[in-house]
Each structure stands twice: as structure tokens, then as C-alpha cells.
Amino acid sequence: MTQSIKVACVGAGYFSKFHYESWARMDDVQVVGSCNCDISKAQATGYAAYDDLSKMLSDTNPDLLDVILPPVAHAQTIKTAIAQGVKTIICQKPFCQDIQEAKSMIALADEAGTRIVVHENFRFQPWYRQIKNALSENAIGEVQQLTFRLRPGDGQGMDAYLDRQPYFREMKRFLIHETAVHWVDTFRFLLGEPTAVYADLRKVNPVIAGEDAGYVIFDHPNGVRAIFDGNRNLDHAADNLRRTMGEALIEGSKGSLVLRGDGSISLRKFAQTEEAEISAADTWDGFGGDCVHHLQSHVISGLIHGSDIENEAKDYIRVIEIENAIYSSAETGQKTALD
């Protein structure tokens, strides 16, 4: 008989629907409760509803707590969960409010024997898994550079972000802290740990507090360079701008890979003009090629089978260090080396 993992969730805002929907599809998961400060939103999930996290954890004794909250709430939620004996936590990104708080939570969890996994799901998008396989199979030879153009087209006008995640407007660090961290981690997954960054950031829409456009150049091992070219005010060719949120080009000595806005990937061999599709367009109606489900399934599989789990907080701390280096580079106008 398959082991059943009891999962409790805290948070019932906009993005939580993708978490709840994923958990509901897993035969080896039992969702035992939903907690939210506005209990009506917790009730709307259809699970046992709470507005008191401690009581939910005491009543349900979950194996795993899924934290679907913004960074300002992470530390206290993690402390409460650890105090109640929770041994596995999945926590949404950005992880905690700053690196000091993140390290403090990791230390507290280590002392209690609690595992924290950061819900960084972009590396689980199927196109990046396919690109990783293609690179591993030497499909384009020696990789020399990667460019991703972020173009979600949701940042224009006086009402930008109000319909989905209005707290975006008040974030003093926005494009990198909230969005580009996805590609910081994805570039790490595809190319290895960067050794230096150079950033040029700016604000295009004056109604928001933070930056919403910019360029970041990453130095990766073996002379490889990656470029994040982000602008939330511009769009790209896609029926769903949030599927891939942009387009990517990965170039090597024997050819290049192109990721398009429909999630398809094509390969063009060096010195040839024709492209061959190696991965078809995405057909998933939900978010990001079902990456939330892929990540959560990965964690559950690790818990049941004892396999390695990606994105544990102690490893993800590197993303926060790189993020800080990006902002430092933007402030100084100089390339910033990474330890």
C-alpha cells in the first residue's frame, strides 16, 4: 500500500490555487487543512478551514506544511511550524525577507531536524528539463551563451498588477527579487554556478516602487555567458504570456536551441538554415507547463522513496546571494564577483 503524506497548507491567495489543485491530483497525498487570515478564503478551498496556524497544525498533525505566503510572513510561519513538530516545509519564493532571516530559519530548521524546500518551480518547467537533457546529450556542442528575454506584458499602466498580485506595486526590489530569481536558479540548473554578475536595472512604469526592466549578465563556468533581458512592460509572441513569460536562445559550437512562447523547442544545427522541433508546444492550461505539480510531486516522491530533493533551502541560499550581488552591481555600475 502506498504511503499517504498528510499535507496542510497556509495561504489561500491568488497563486495558491495552483498548489491546491496539484495536491488534489496526487493519490499519495491527503490534504488535511487550509489556513488563511481571511478564513473565508480557506473555506473556499473545500478543505478543513482555519485562521489560526497553530490550531491547524495541532488538529491535523501534518507531515508537510505548504507555505503559500509572501516573504514577510515566512519566518514566523516557519517558527510556528517547527515549534509544532512539522518535519517538512515547502516555502514559496522569494524565501524570507533577506539573507540574514533566511539563514536564521535554515539554522533553526537544521537544529530541529526539519527540512525546508523552497518552491522555486521554474527549473521544473518541462521545456527547461528538455533543454537540460539536450545539453547533456551534446545536442549543440560546447555551450557558449544563453539569452532569456522576459516579456510578460503585464506591467503597463496605472493599474499594473492590481488584478492579480497587487503587492508587486509596493516592492522596492521587484524585477530581480520577485521575478528574475526564477532564471537565476534556472541558469544555475542549466549552466552551473555563476562566478560574477553585471546588472543594469531601471524603472519604466512610474506607479510602482521597484525596478521593472533591466539586463543582467552572468559569468558561468568554462567561459559561458548568460543574459537575462527583462522588461515586464513588453510582450512576446504567445497566446498565453505567462506560459514561458518570454523566449530563450541557447547557442553552442554545433548549433542552437530556441524556446518559444508556446513552450516548444527547436534545434538548428550549425551552418544550417532549417530548424527541427524537438519538443512540441505546451498544452497545459494552468501555470508554467504544470511546474507547480512537477515540483510538489518531486518532493513527495523524495519523501516516500528517500530520493534526493532539489531546492532545499540550504542550497537555495545561493540564489539569494546572487540576487544581492545583482543589486550591488546595479548600484555600483561594476561587475560583482561571487565567492
Is residue 3 classed exposed, middle or buried when 0-12, 13-18 and 19+ CB atoms within 10 A define those classes?
exposed
What pLDDT is stored for residue 29 in this prediction? 98
What pLDDT is stored for residue 165 in this prediction? 87
What pLDDT is stored for residue 286 in this prediction? 87
Spatial distance between the Cα atoms of 279 and 262, rounded to a whole number of angstroms: 11
Spatial distance between the Cα atoms of 122 and 141, rounded to a whole number of angstroms: 24
| Domain extents in the chain | 5-119, 123-287+319-337
Is there a contact between 202 and 223 (Cβ–Cβ < 8 Å)? no
Beta bridge partners of 9: 34, 66
**DSSP letters spanning 278-302:** EEPPP--SSSGGGHHHHHHHHHHHH
- The radius of gyration computed from the CA coordinates of the chain, to the nearest angstrom, equals 20
The single-letter DSSP state of residue 263 is: S
The secondary structure element, H or E, covering residue 277 is strand 276-279
**DSSP letters spanning 196-235:** EEEEEEE--STTSSS--EEEEEEE-GGG-EEEEEEETT--
Cis-peptide into 221, omega within 30 deg = no
What pLDDT is stored for residue 1 in this prediction? 38
Spatial distance between the Cα atoms of 217 and 184, rounded to a whole number of angstroms: 11
Q: What angle do CA 21, 281, 130 make, to 5 degrees?
A: 85
Beta bridge partners of 265: 259, 279
What pLDDT is stored for residue 2 in this prediction? 54
Is there a contact between 289 and 125 (Cβ–Cβ < 8 Å)? yes
Mention the CATH class of domain 5-119. Answer: alpha beta
Mention the CATH class of domain 123-287+319-337. Answer: alpha beta
Spatial distance between the Cα atoms of 157 and 68, rounded to a whole number of angstroms: 28
Spatial distance between the Cα atoms of 299 and 284, rounded to a whole number of angstroms: 21
Spatial distance between the Cα atoms of 286 and 54, rounded to a whole number of angstroms: 31
CA atoms within 13 A on the CB side of 91: 34
339 residues of the chain, pLDDT tens digit each: 357 999 999 999 999 999 999 999 999 999 999 999 999 999 999 999 999 999 999 999 999 999 999 999 999 999 999 999 999 999 999 899 999 999 999 999 999 999 999 999 999 999 999 999 999 999 999 999 999 999 999 999 999 999 988 989 999 999 999 999 999 999 999 999 999 999 999 999 999 999 999 999 999 999 999 999 999 999 999 999 999 999 999 999 999 999 999 999 999 999 999 999 999 999 998 899 999 999 999 999 999 999 999 999 999 999 999 999 999 999 999 999 998
Spatial distance between the Cα atoms of 137 and 196, rounded to a whole number of angstroms: 27
Closest by CA to 36, choosing from 11, 5, 64, is 11
pTM here is: 0.94
End-to-end CA distance of the chain: 47
User: Cβ neighbours of residue 176 under 8 Å, at least 6 residues apart?
Assistant: 199, 201, 211, 214, 216, 323, 326, 327
User: Is 128 strand, coil or helix?
Assistant: helix
